[in-house]
Structure 1
């Protein structure tokens, strides 16, 4: 649009006024620094010299007219009340997250053992073959290695070492004995890995709690008393516990721990345990004059027994129908 045609500018102003364009928008279009009026003043030099004076007077008059309109209507617009539509409040149900059933149980187990004088130890999830097997009295040619389905990890920066994802939390006891002096009274909760097909009772990734108590007086009777105290805190107080002879390469003698809930005739296997093998103590640099017990239990197994859950896969399915029950 030609801003040197005053009538054109006037016609545009009148059109916006007739359409009830806001005073603010009219000011922006015509009177602002980059508006039509300012641009026209900047281009007066393009006119013939004898027409400039008359053009300037007419442009000033139009500017004054627009300014008066803006002043009059801007005040009116500011004073006009705005009718707000009533807005009904939206009620949104508050849903708070919570710890998963696995985390709840891990904290519960930790709390019970801390009250029994145990501390918590941690270790790496990617282990060397020595910590996961050899130090635990499971040499490379030992048939017991077939008990674990191992996930091996290739580390090209250290080809002389065999790395794997730990198959149990037992290596943590070796780390702990390597780095501290007896007596020991620790638990080691954590994630473990097995190369297994997933079904209702098997998972590739699950949780275990390892326990270790070593000093110069601990016996099988001590072990049985500690475990009875633990299960009475975790399960109904009159839950029964028994030990069955078993075999683990890192304990001697070894036991399976079974429990029987109140009113049930069925014994349920819940953990493996035994007195720490002297070879394990030697591998960890501990004087074999010391003695003690170790145990390991699956956290998901405990949860399934405690809450009547029949499929391990529920824990990792992220199904809110399951999660919100606990």
Structure 2
């Protein structure tokens, strides 16, 4: 599996044990602070690499210490970062995520270089030989440009997938609609599906997105697992019962597991089950690079772990 992950790459700073924001200039002790590569392209790429795929990243970063850290972390995970262009005028995209004792995780985010990335920054020749193109954050490119990129990937014989970053609403659906007929697998979360379509149920919303030309819609539902919809069937796959530390990156982990499963020849249900099993690994730590897992260890976990 040779994957191009295109789009949003972020450096996340997780702060665990934040009970409140200190008053004035006061300080507060927390349990842990960690850094991890993230984003609908970056986070998915890290997990795909851990699962045995060959991953090349395409997007934009700044020329700052955040970029050096993010590139080093991605490279450490085996991701080829030569396709990440430098934008001197923009800082590297970054988030600070204070995780409260109950698991809630508000965030501060700087869009930075992700908002400056265009198709002109991507060498289409570098995509030769890929088996898969995953576009994370098509809203930054817009549907017309995203559609051209996905169509080009298909012309190379590659499978395409798409994951949104922004919350869903009908205007966002209109903005990215041109990309959907070129998308083999759409990988949103439940809130995005309901917001994009205005549907009364998740299944109805997923089927409404199929009407826009998507081949398959695989929706994450948090603790409820995932729902998969095609023109022929709609089914759900339960999540695994684990002690959750932080859910940041779980959606990206599901996407990676799902796509890896398909590349290995598993059917849609088997791919969604692998996606849920990988997401369970990430939920037990901080970010997509949490803990240590491989395809073999995740498969073993899936065979023995209880479901919700």
The verdict on a shared fold, with TM-score over 0.5 as the criterion, is no
Q: TM-score, normalised by structure 2?
A: 0.27
Larger Rg: 1
Q: What is the TM-score normalised by the length of structure 1?
A: 0.26
